[in-house]
Each structure stands twice: as C-alpha cells, then as structure tokens.
Structure 1
Amino acid sequence: MQAHETKIQPIIEGTKQYLVPMFQRTYSWTLNECKQLWEDILDIEEYEDSKGHFIGSIVSMPVPSAPHEVQRYLLIDGQQRLTTIVIILAVIRDLARKDDIRLSDEIHETLLVNKYEEGESRLKLLPTQADRRSFEKLLLNTIENNNDNLIIQAYNYFKNQISKCDIDLRRLKTTLTNRLSLVSIVLASNDNPYLVFESLNAKGRPLTQSDLIRNFFFMRINQEQHNFIYNQYWKPMQEDLGESLTEFIRHFLMKNGKLVRKSDVYVTLKDTAENEDALKYIKDIHTYSSYYKTFIKPELEKDVSLREHMIRLNRIEATTSYPLLLNLYDLHYKNIINSRELNEVLDVLENYLIRRFVCELPTNELNKNFLSVCQKIDGYGYKGIEVVKEIKSALQNKGYPKDIEFKYNLVSTKLYGAGERSRKIRLILETIEDSYNHKEKINFNNLSVEHVMPQTLNDSWKQELGTTWEEIHDHYLHSLGNLTLTAYNAEMSNATFLKKRSRLSNSHLELNKYFTGINEWNERNIKERANILADKSLEIWGYFGSEEYELKDVKGTSPRLIFFFSRWYEVNSWRDVWATTINKIIEKDESYFDILLDKFPNLVSKDKSAFRRHYTLDNKSYINVDFSARDIYRLCFTILEVLEIEKEEWSVEIES
C-alpha cells in the first residue's frame, strides 16, 4: 500500500480510468454536500495566499490489463468526491464552449475522456451501472433533463452557481485541479479491496446490508462478468424489491429453518456463502426473488387463485410465513406441488393465522413455528399431497386453537382495535359475507366496520342497554356480535338502534339480515348474533387437524365424579368439574398457573372484573365460568394438551 499527498490533475490526467466497483453505493451526494464543497471552493478563490483545501482521500487499486489497454484502477473509496469534481469540470467545459473553446477542449480531452479510446474505455471515470448511463451522457454532451437523478441535479446546481458568479473559468479550473489537496492511497495487487472498503466505511455513513451483500458477491466474481451479472440478476432484484431487498435476503436465509435476526443478515450470508460459488449463489437468490416479488406485489401473480390468497395473507400480515412460502413456491416451480396443492397450503396458513389472532395467541411465536415447518419439508422427494399433509400435521401442534377455543373467542373476545386488528376483523367480516355466495360479487371498497352499539354512548343508548349498560358496553363493544359492515358509518354514528336498524335492514349484505325484526339491541341479541357468525366462521376456517381423542356430547348431562391425577373428586355440576380441574392442575405444579395466565387470558385471570361470571380458585385468582357443559368438557381437554398432561389422567363419570 502506497500513500502520498497529491492534487486532482495528476490523479486523472493521462490515459487511465477509475472504475467504481460494484461494492460501492451509487452517487449519493445531495445539494447539501454540493453546497458545502462549492463554499469551500469559493473560499479558496477569495484568498490568493490560500494553500488549498484538503478534501479527503482517494483509495484505488490497479487492475491488470494488456499493454495496449487503458490503465484501470478500482476506486475503492472517494468516488463521491471525485465524481463531483468531474461534474464541476464538465460544467466549466460546457460554459467555456461559448467564449473559450480551447479551455473547453482542454478539459474535455485531458481531464474527462481518453481521447483516442472507444466504448467504456473512453471515460476517465466509470461509475456503477446504475449511474453509468446518466454520467456518460453528461460527459459526452448528450445530457438528459432528469431531475430525479442526483448526478444531473449536481450538474444543474453547479452550472447555476458558476453562471451567476463573476468568476474566471480558467482560474476556477486551476483551483479544482491544482489547489484541492487529497491523499492518494494505492493498494498493492495482493491487498483485499473489499476488506479495505469495509473498514473505511465502518465509521462513516453505514451501508445497507443489501449493499454489503452485493459487495461481497461482486468481489468474488470476475471483473469482466460484472456488467452482465449486474444487469441480468442483481439489478432486476433491486428494481423489483426496492427497500424490501434486505428483508427478502433475510427470509431467503431462513428458508432452511434457522432464525436470522434483522441485524445479522449480512454476517449470516457471508458465513453461508463464503465457500459457495458466487455466481451460482446469486442465480439462486435471483430465482427466489421472483417468488418473493409476488408476495409483496400479489397483483403480479398470474394465477388468479394464488393472487387472491396472497392478497388475503398480506392483509393479515403473514410476513413470518415468507420463509416457508419461499420453499412452497420453489416446490411449485419444480412441479413437486401443483397449483391446487399450493392453494390448499395457503388456505391452511390463513386458517392458522386467523384462529391464532382470534384466540389472541402471541405473534412472537410465529417465526419459530413456521421455521420448524421449513425444517420438516426440506423439500426433496416430496409429493404434493405429502407436503400439504406434513404442514397440517406440523402446525396443528404449534399453538393451533381447536374449535371450542376458536368459537369461545369469536363470541367473547374484543376483536376490533387499532391498526392491524381493525384490518383483520374487516377481513373476517368480508369473508363471512362472501361465504353466502352472492350471485354478484360484493364491492367492499366503500364499506367500513360499524359498531352497532356505538363506541360513545349517549343517554338514549344507556337507557336501551339497561342498568348494566357500562358492563355490557365494556364487554361487548368490540366483539364480533356487535360488528358489521356498512357504507353508512358516518350517518349512523351513535344514532338509536331503531334508526340504525332501518338502514341495516335495507342493506343487501347478509351480515345485516339479522337486524330485521329485532326491536332492541341488548346483551342477549349481541351474543345470539355472535354465535351465528361464529358458527359460520367455523365452517370457513374449519379445523384442519386430526382429533387424537374422541369427545363425547355431554349436553344435558350431570357429572358425578372426576378422575384426575390418580384420585377421584365429587362434583355436582359442570362448573364444579371446571373449577376442580383448574385447582388440581395448579396444585400439581404452580408453574402451570403462569402458563394458563399467558395462554388463556380469557379463561384465567388475577382480576375479578375480567369476567362477567367467575369462580374464585384456591389461590385467590379467578376463572371464567360462562360456559356450557360442552364448552367445559372440550376446554378441559384443550388445557391438558397445552400443559402436556396425558389425557388418560383425566375423566368424568356422568350420572346415568
């Protein structure tokens, strides 16, 4: 490595070319940086005795070339400064053409181009592919008026500043080429330019992880292939995915089942691809990027059914499933699974996510759950039906709510809320409406979610709900039974129920047919409508798992004894069964209580006001007892499963 202080002129004059490598970012100086440089230049101009101005360093490395070729240098660092200086020289050249053609030609032929060369070798500075076309047109006098391009913006800025200044162009050229100082660092041929670049940027403006990844690959590819590979593979990914490129690469790295944190994308890829063929790896990433493009832009998917499925998954924010989807789309591309089977899996994913949302299961588990499925369907040798079966089998044991839990939460949980909650409940309501198979497709675009019992109660509504209005409003406001779709949200607002009923009864939506003939809106009617919509939801998002135990129909029965943990306990009602089961679970292992609080907040709570009807447990906490015999019987089995307690440990003896 050699370093010495120098000026701009000896850096760029002579038959040579500075090539900005792929691992550099595109030209990124805005008007702020251009303004600062221009002010520095004016300061030098103002003071005759100024020795100049230090503008930083330029790091380069010679590239092997034939004797008859231009001597090329990789411009490892300093491309923003050097590019800007060249842009200013182009401005001086163009302005001098009117009154000093000799100066114009001198700048052009000695500082901007290699006069006797052709093609890309003609330019003394060759930017990255993304900037190359604009820069070439600027230097070869075919500039385009593109205000979105930073190179053109810089050219126009300096042209405007120089034009309005009383400044001698020849003197300005001398200032740029001989009074701006810099340190030129030339690497030896055995130095690693990428590692140097990496360390130089460690303390400066950070590169994005996708920048670093691009750098990593192109440093391992023959220079002669850069143009083709960039245009064929990397540039299309950048254009298609934009800001999502880094996240795509993260999901690509996760498709084998290993979690990659957002901050570790580059490091993980570097470890993964270090010993791989760089070109083959880029081609592989490019192939998967074509799948990913349809995830984030479903409108590009040609298959109508797949397009609709991806639109729906995006509405419920299914990004945690993207690593799994990359595997599935690749299996589809390889004809291992067909379109019908892929659509079936997308149905399964929606079903899984909708049920978990309704049952308020934590979303931070989803990454781990989907990655475990990625490991199970590693892909090779599978037939379509096996993939579908494998995914169903894996997900049913990853926090997949059974019917009893799903229905209970549909009826009682506060589903509506800010942000994603409002979007998800809207999708649920739209899907229920669509399930009635209208002859004409409903346009949901101008409909919004309406609270029948309004969010703000006036005196009329308080009277409508009765003495317990506050409790009813708190418990049922955002529940499924109180929500519908309408185009008259603003008009209805907090109008009386009878006025709302008039609008809703005339609606063409099946969701609103229930209100015809209903004369009051109270707790009983909200729960009744919720149960109707919940049953419909159970048909739409039916349980895809296999029951490992046969559930009896205990409706109308009277329990006498329960057998649990090798002992018998007397009970007089199904509520006793429920309370005894929970008490004995906590008595068996106190850590179970924390799990119940976390997994079943709608069943167990330390707060008595959490439930309308509650029972006090032995540890002074509370359980919800607002259930039927069927509900309690099924919930007991659900809890046993979550706590991994053998089902044979528990049974109920019923009076004959």
Structure 2
Amino acid sequence: MVHAAETSLKVLLEGTKQYLVPLYQRTYSWSRQQHVRLWEDVLKLAEDRSVDHQTTHFIGSLVLAPAAANGPAGVQQFLVVDGQQRLTTLSLLLCAIRDHRGESEGANHRERLNEQYLINKWEKESLRSKLLPTQVDRASYQSCLESTPHAGAGDPIGKAYNYFRSQLRQPDEAGNPIDLAAVEDAVIQGLSLVCVTAQAGDNVHRIFESLNNTGLQLTQGDLLRNYLFMRLPSRGDKVYSNLWLPLQKTLSSDELETLFWLDLVRDDARVKRTDTYNRQQVRLNRLSGEDAIEAAVKRFARLGTLFAVILHPEQETDADVRRGLQRLYSWDTTTVYPLLLHLLDQRDTGAADSATVARTLTIIESFLVRRLLMGRATNNVNRVLLGAVAELRANRPLDEAVRDYLSTGRKYYATDRELLEGIEHQSFYFNGAPHQRALVLRWLEEHLGSKEPVNLSNLTIEHVLPQTLTAFWEQALSTGLEADETVEDVHSQVLHTLGNLTLTGYNSELSNGPFDKKRTVLATSGVRMNQEIAENEVWGRAQILARAAVLAQRAVSIWPGPSSQSPSGASELWQLLDSALTELPAGSWTTYGDLAALIGTHPVPLGMRLSTHPAPNAHRVLQAGGTVSPGFRWPNPDRDDDPLQILRSEGVTIDDAGRADPGQRVTVEELAELVGLSTDGLQVLPDLAPGQDRARRDRFLGQLTTANDISVVNGVLRLLDRWTADGGELVYGNNAQTSCFPVVRTPLNRENAPWPVAIYPAGKVEVVFKHMASRPPFNDLAMREEFRLRLNAIDGIDLSASKIQLRPSFPLDVLSDEKAVEQLADAFSWFLQVTWQANS
C-alpha cells in the first residue's frame, strides 16, 4: 500500500529527517541543459509569486520508502526509490543560495538554511546530512554541503553547484541584482512535488524495478547492479567499495552492460543485449544468501578486469598476447569478445598459459583474414564466433579446441587451396570493411620486416592498374588478349584483386597515370611491396596474377589454415554441381535453371561459375530453349571447338536453328536421381523481375553468390521473389558493388518512390530511414518507428532508436535463416501496403 500527496521542499526537508539514495541507484547525472531549465523555471516562478503568492510549479514526483531501522523517535530515514536526481539538484541549489546569501547578506542566512533544510545539526555524523547520495557522489556533495575549498569540483555534482552559484551572481533582465529572498521562497515553497511513500515491508527494489525497467531510463547494467545490491542488505556498502566501485571505474556504463551480456553469450549465443538483465536475474535467482551474491559480484569484478585488457590491449603484460589482442582490436569486431574473454579467463584460472592464448589469438586472426581473402568475410561470422565458447571440445588444449571448432562445419575457414584461388580471383577491394582490407595489406607488408619501417597507418589502398582506363592502360591490357576477349573484360577481372592493390600515401600523385610514372614513385617508397611492384617493367594481367601468387604464398605462411585442409562448406555447392555434371550421360543435356534448382542457387551465378572454372561436361548445359548461351566460353583459353558439334557427336539431335531436342533434356528431378538426392521439395527458382537493367541484375546476383554462403543467396532470392510477387519492383545500382533496391512505385508516385532497404551483396542490408523521411507515409516519424520495431522483432536484427534518422544496417547473413526471411518478407509486405495506401 502506498500513499501519495502533493508537497513542497519545505515540508520534505524541515524536521529531523534523512533521505538515503540506495546503492542500486545510478550516480548523479543531470546535465547543464537540465540545470538551465530548472533555473529558468525558478526565476519565472519567483516573478509569478510576486503577483500571486499561491502560484506553484510542478517539477515531478519523488518515490520514498521508510528505512527498516526507523523507530518512533530520532531521525526518520527514507530510501529514495525514484527522483534522486531531482532531490539532489534542489539540495545543491539550496547550498548555492545559502552560500551566496551568507556572503552578500550575512552569516545568519547560512545557519538558517543549514539547520532548516540541509543538516540535522545535533545528530551524529552519519545522520547529519539530510540528503545522503550514493557513495560515489558523497564526497563531492559533502564538500558543497560544508562549503569546503573543494566545493564545485569538475564532477557532475560540482558542476551543478557551480552553475547555480554563477547564476545567482547574474543581474536580472533589468540589470538589477536577483531578488534572493524571492528565489529562495520559490524553491522552498513554490516548487511542487508529488511524494509517493511506500509502507514498511514493501519490496523497495520491486517498486524501483517497475518504475525503471522500461529500457528508457536505466541501462541493462544499471538494473543488474540494482538487483545485486538489493540482495546484499547487510554487506552492500563493503561489497560496493571493495568490488563494484573499482569495476565501475574500470569500465564505462556501456562497457559494463557489454560485459554482463558477454558473460551470458559464452553459454548461449542467442542472448540479445536487451535480455541481459532478465537472463542474469534468472541466473542469480538460483543463488541463496549474501555469500553467494558477493561471490557473483567478485566474479564480475574479475571478468571486468579481463575485459578491460581486451578493450585496452596495451595493459597486457605478455608481449605475444598483447600483439594478438591489439591486432584483433584493430579488426574491430565485437563478436570476438566472448571468445577472447574466455581465453583470458582460462589463463586467469590456470587452465591455459600465455603461450597457448597467444597461439589461439593467431588462429582467430587467421580465421578472419582467410575468410576475407576468399570473399566470405561476413557469412555467419557473428554466429560462428558468438557460439564458439559453448561449442569448444573439453579436454583439448585451448588452441587445438578453437582451431577444431573453426575448422568444422560450414564456417568458411579457408584451406590453403581456397586461399590461393580467392586471392587470385576475388575482388578483394569489396571484401569486408575498408579498414580490414587495409589491415591485411599492412600485415602483409609488416611480414617483410623492413629495416626502415614506415608508418603504415597513414597509408591508403591504391589500384596500380587504375579504375579508370586511359589510352595508355588500354594499350597495356591489349597485350595477350584471348579470342573474343576485350580490354574491358580483363580490366574487370583483375582490377580489384589483391594482386593489383598496394598501400601508398601518394594516391593523388599516382591516380590514373601511366605505369612508368607510377613505377618511379613506387621504387622510392619505403613500403617493400611497392618496391617489389616497381621491379616490373610493365603492368598487366600477367604481372597482377604473378603478384597474387606471391602474396598468396605469403598469406599461407603468416596465417595458419584449418586443422583439416579438405574443402570447406564454401565448396559444397560446386562439388554437387561437378557431381551432377559428371553423372549427366552423353546424348543428353540440361539447363542452367535445372542445375541451379538442384544445387540451390540462381542460374546467373551458376553460369558465371561454369564460364570461369573447369567443370565436367559443361557444354551439356544449355539455355531453356535448348540453345547455347551467348556467354558460353571454355575456361581453357586454348579450346575453341563448337559445343554444338560436340553435342551432335555425343548423340544429341540439333535442329537447323541450333536447338537441342527437348526430349533429350534431363530435368531437375532426373538430375537428383542421378546424384542420389531426394526430389522432395525441389523446385526451379523463378527468375527475378528485371528491374531497370538486366545486366545490372545479373551482376548483382553474381556478386551475391561470390561473396556469400548459398543459404544467404537463397534467402535473398526468396525475399526478392516475395517482394515482386506482392507488387514491388527491383532497381539495381551502377557502382562496382551492385546494390539492389526494392522500390514501391504507385500510380501517384512514380518518381519519388520509397524503398525500405538497400541490399549490398558484400554482406549488409542498409535500412534507409534517412531516405524514407522525405517520402510519405514514412515522413511521419511514427511510421518509421513502427517499421523499425517490426524489423527488430527478427532474430539477428537490432536497430537502435537513435538511428531513426540515419541508415543503420544489419548483416546479410540474417537471411540464411528461413524464419527470418519470412518475417522480413512480412515486414516488407506491410511496407508495401501502407505505401500504396498513402500514395494511391
């Protein structure tokens, strides 16, 4: 049962009382903006009360609970369950008024205000202050209360006191001194609060939790701290001083929240940050007694010290571990944190030594770098790393256990062969994040061990063969062209590969210039890899491929591969393709669509694969009408024989129009039987709506398949098929990385059509709130917020409310999950529906 009543500061503070801010409350955090608003309200109230002394101004509520030790006499103590920021600020304002009036009008004002509203003069020291803030704030508040030389320090308490002191010295708008008596009267009697008082025996923490567990006022870490100290009624002060306060000084509020989340993720990778408090509370509810709760706080404090080393690797004392942590910190992916925390925890408890931890850090780095080099930088990497700790094999050395975990399943820990192929063919310039690409080049350079090292952090990535072809470079690439091959073909094949990229501080000077000019600059560079490039007299496809091979061998020696060098999950798709083509009998043929349906991809990337990689019986794959694809080419440049002639020789009937006999076509069901697969659920994936440009669409699909796991590719295809089936259209970008935009064109809005997301094949989906804001109905903030909430209901998507005006993103590999695809498609259908309603 609670009692609520409107009251004033005079009623609250007069008499022998003390208001205690519990340990579970956050520290004082009001800012200058809130101080200014309160002061302006006080001045206005003082002016209004000079006309009508009954005028009041409501400033909010205060929730109190009587302390358990209260008796019929003595100081009545109350716990401040809610409203401590407000009560602390008003007390500091009274301190400022007291000091200003004491200096300008006489010492009697100091004594009067102290004894009436700020202190219990005749009580012992612990009960003397009418307000007792949290431990962190007490010293600063006490300085203000006692007017010591330290009053007004640089912390939030001191800043509030200083602000009010400075404002009291300012003249009013007419240039006259502020009427101090009127200001004091307005604060003491004119400000109105609703005071809600709980009854003895009420669960104070439960009241506090119900007021604050909205996610808006307190962080997940705040709520957990509050819960812990509610469970420490007799030891709270000691545990707070000895364990919690050092932890709170070591980590920021956000870092603390991350720590509590990481602690959960080590056991269950599915835990969301927003569930941190509830899941930790479930754990702690199993503990009984203050000994167990104190041990839990001690464990958090120990983990916090380890987490601080992850965030600040320079604190690590072992040189090899420090280097590994620094490199992973530079990689900038928080998904490694649970695994890193586990490594340091194992060492701290004696289960591993520093040498083992250092080797394990190298394995983690190798896993990330090799994925990047083979074009799988983002595919399921979050889930792989977040789930690592729970999946590690027990009774194995830590480095071996981590390597085995990363080497099994479809985690894309590239083998040496895959690494060599990826470096030669992958468009490295679009893999991963820009800073990660630069790091790989820096680490390759550092491996050369220059005796005169340069500051590589200031260098940027340079294309030796430039992105814009000039007459010089067209001539350079024309040498060695194969049949039916163009300069543009060669340019697009090698431009963004690792073999054509380096680091330099002279991008503007090098630009699109001819190689002899670039060679002169590169030869004088302090970067060893640039000197290696300058050793070439010309620069074209042959030189780029040769350098790619050198860099690949260097990468193999720097970054160890998986425990098994058998092909990873990335090759399973193409292994099935080769198996199906091997089983395809002479005298028959099949289509790109049939094969794509069999292995679970789209016909366009499958065709690209067959044109660039040797495969058995590739000439037996035709277009749906039985004709040879115009883009068909033999991967072996020495072959120029006609595929139709080979088909005829094998027994396929070809008509005068060059069409194969439909009766000799092997369907997808028959292909499945040939390779021993079940035909349940096989279906030919429908072609996508062409959008603006079929060539761009095909480029998008090719990049999508190259950069992602097949489950992600199929998820994207299902999502886009659903979008077009619901009436949406697809538009494709014209940059080197071809993005896809699902747009809504209505009869009344063709030119300013909105779109919900931009899909980037390299690994992210960007939610374009910024663009929606100028397009109805999403120019209404409430509609954008509704869309954000619908997206956040999907596992793997967590878009911050603070980015509702920006373009936040989520990983493309969310679409590897069928349920997530369906949920996202439903959210897109809602987007379509409300857009049509607003624009039709």
Range into which the TM-score falls when normalised by the shorter chain: 0.7 to 0.9
Preserved CA contact (<8 Å) 1:120 1:126? no
Query: What is the CA distance between 1:219 and its match in structure 2?
Result: 1.4
Equivalent residue, structure 2, for 1:49: 52
Q: Which residue of 1 aligns with 2:155?
A: 149
Is 1:263 paired with 2:271? no
Q: Out of 69, 75, 78, which is 1:73 matched to? A: 78
2:11 paired residue number: 10
| Superposed CA offset, 1:431-473 (max 9, x none) | 2223334456554244332221223444433343339443333
1:6·1:184 contact (CA, 8 Å) conserved in 2? yes
Letter in 2 for 1:518: N
Output the amino acid matched with 1:131: D
Q: Look up the match of 2:264.
A: 253
* Residue-by-residue CA offset, 1:471-495 (whole Å, 9 max, x unaligned): 3333322211111223433432332
- C-alpha separation in 2, matches of 1:565 and 1:613: 14
User: Alpha carbons of 1:447 and 1:174: their partners in 2 closer, same or farther (altered >3 Å)?
Assistant: closer
CA contact (8 A) 2:415 2:566 kept: no
1:235 is aligned, of 211, 235, 245, to: 245
TM-superposed CA distance for 1:45, in Å, is 2.2
1:60 to 51, 61, 64: 64
Q: Aligned equivalents of 1:58 and 1:299: distance in 2? A: 45
What's the offset of the Cα at 1:625? 6.8
2-side partners of 1:306 and 1:149: how far apart? 36
Which letter does structure 1 place at the counterpart of 2:116?
T
Between stretches 166-175 and 350-359, larger displacement belongs to 166-175
Amino acid in structure 2 at the alignment position of 1:485: L
Output the CA distance in 2 between the equivalents of 1:625 and 1:566: 15
Q: What residue in structure 2 maps to residue 219 of structure 1?
A: 230
Give the AA of the match of 2:241: N
**Alpha carbons of structure 1 residues 144 and 613: separation in structure 2 relative to 1, 3 Å:** farther
Counterparts of 2:319 and 2:446, CA distance in 1: 17
Amino acid at match of 1:287: R
1:554 is matched with none
Could you say which structure has the greater relative contact order, defined with CA pairs below 8 angstroms and 6 or more residues apart? 1
Secondary structure at the aligned position of 2:79 is classed as: strand
Aligned to 2:517: 499
Q: Say which is worse superposed, 31-40 or 474-483, in terms of deviation.
A: 31-40
CA 1:421–1:32 in 2, change beyond 3 Å: closer, same or farther?
A: closer
CA distance in 2, matches of 1:76, 1:307: 44
Asked if 1:174 is matched to 2:181, the reply is no
Determine helix, strand or coil for the equivalent of 2:433: helix
Q: Encode CA deviations 1:605-637: one digit per residue, 9 max, x unaligned.
A: 4669996999674576999975899xxxxxxxx
Question: Cα gap change, 1:72/1:528 in structure 2, threshold over 3 Å: closer, same or farther?
Answer: same
After TM superposition, give the deviation of residue 300 of structure 1 in Å. Answer: 1.1
Cα deviation code 1:30-87 (max 9, x no counterpart)? 2332233233323332233242222222111111237687432110112122112211
Q: Per-residue deviation at 1:327? A: 1.7
3-state secondary structure, aligned to 1:22: coil
SS in 1 for 2:429: coil
**Superposed displacement of residue 376, structure 1:** 3.3
Counterpart Cα distance in 1 of 2:284 and 2:190: 46
Q: 1:520 to 1:17 in 2, by over 3 A?
A: same
SS of 2:444's equivalent in the other structure is helix
For 1:480, the equivalent position in structure 2 comes to 498
Query: What letter is aligned with 1:53?
Result: H
- Alignment partner, residue 27 of structure 1: 28
Gaps of 5+ in 1: 550-561, 572-578, 630-644, 651-656
Q: Is the contact between residue 61 and residue 188 of structure 1 (CA under 8 Å) also seen in structure 2? A: yes
Aligned to 2:538: 520
Task: State whether structure 2 residue 142 is matched by structure 1 residue 136.
Answer: yes
Corresponding residue to 2:438 among 422, 426, 440: 426
**Larger mean Cα displacement after TM superposition, 438-447 or 499-508:** 438-447
**Cα offset for 1:237?**
2.7
Q: Could you say which residue in structure 2 is the equivalent of 1:410? A: 423
- Between the two proteins, what is the percent identity of the paired residues? 32
Query: Partner of 1:340 in structure 2?
Result: 355
Name the residue aligned to 1:294: 309
- Aligned residue in 1 for 2:467: 455
User: How far apart are residue 501 of structure 1 and its match?
Assistant: 0.9
2:664 counterpart residue number:
none
Change (3 A) 1:286 1:78: same
CA contact (8 A) 2:611 2:634 kept: no
Structure 1, 423-432 or 366-375: larger mean CA deviation: 366-375
Q: In 2, are the aligned partners of 1:257 and 1:373 still within 8 Å (CA)?
A: no
Unmatched segments (≥5 aa) in structure 2: 568-576, 639-671, 678-840
Q: SS at the partner of 2:538?
A: coil
Query: Could you say what secondary structure the match of 2:496 adopts?
Result: coil
1:287 Cα offset (Å)? 1.0
Residues 526-564 of structure 1: CA distance to partner in whole angstroms, max 9, x if unpaired?
Answer: 111111111221222232322469xxxxxxxxxxxx995
SS in 1 for 2:30: coil
Check 1:152–1:408 CA distance in 2 against 1; reply closer, same or farther (3 A cut): same
The Cα shift of 1:125 comes to 0.8
Q: Using a 3 Å threshold, how does the CA distance of structure 1 residues 240 and 469 change in structure 2: closer, same or farther?
A: farther
| Residue deviations 1:559-599 (CA, integer Å, cap 9, x gap) | xxx9958986679xxxxxxx99xx799968935223x89xx
SS of the counterpart of 2:194? Answer: strand
Larger mean CA deviation between 354-363 and 608-617 belongs to: 608-617
1:361 and 2:362 aligned:
no
Looking at structure 2, the residues matched to 542 and 160 of structure 1 have their Cα atoms a distance apart, in angstroms, of: 64
Structure 2 residue 120 is matched with structure 1 residue 109: no
SS at match of 2:380: helix
Is the alpha carbon distance of 1:624 and 1:415 closer, same or farther for their aligned partners in structure 2, counting shifts above 3 Å?
farther
Tell me the distance in 2 between the aligned counterparts of 1:563 and 1:27. 67
Could you tell me whether the CA contact under 8 Å between 1:449 and 1:483 is conserved in 2?
Answer: yes
Residue from 465, 470, 481 that aligns with 2:488: 470
Match of 1:593 in 2: 600
* Farther off after superposition, 102-111 or 195-204: 195-204
Give the residue type in structure 1 aligned to 2:400.
Answer: K
Q: CA deviation at 1:138?
A: 0.8
| Structure 1 equivalent of residue 759 of structure 2 | none
Contact 1:44 1:50 in 2 (8 A): no
User: 1:354/1:619 Cα in 2 relative to 1: closer, same or farther (>3 Å)?
Assistant: farther
Deviations 1:395-416 (CA, angstroms, capped at 9, x unpaired): 1113322222221111111212
In structure 2, the residue matched to 1:162 is 168
What do the CA deviations read for 1:132-165 (whole angstroms, capped 9, x no partner)? 2221111110254767433333223322333324
Cα separation, partners in 2 of 1:438 and 1:124, compared to 1, 3 Å:
same
Structure 2 distance, partners of 1:373, 1:94, is 60
Q: CA deviation at 1:388?
A: 2.3
Contact 2:452–2:526 (CA<8 Å) still a contact in 1?
no
2:367, 2:561 within 8 Å by CA — same for their partners in 1?
Answer: no
Asked if 2 retains the 8 angstrom alpha-carbon contact of 1:316 and 1:424, the reply is yes
Question: How far apart are residue 350 of structure 1 and its match?
Answer: 0.8
**Is the alpha carbon distance of 1:588 and 1:607 closer, same or farther for their aligned partners in structure 2, counting shifts above 3 Å?**
closer
> Relative to structure 2, which stretch is displaced further, 74-83 or 200-209?
200-209
Count of residues in Structure 1 that have an aligned counterpart in Structure 2: 601
Of the three residues 77, 82, 89, the one matched with 1:84 is 89
How large is the RMSD of aligned CA atoms in angstroms?
Answer: 3.6
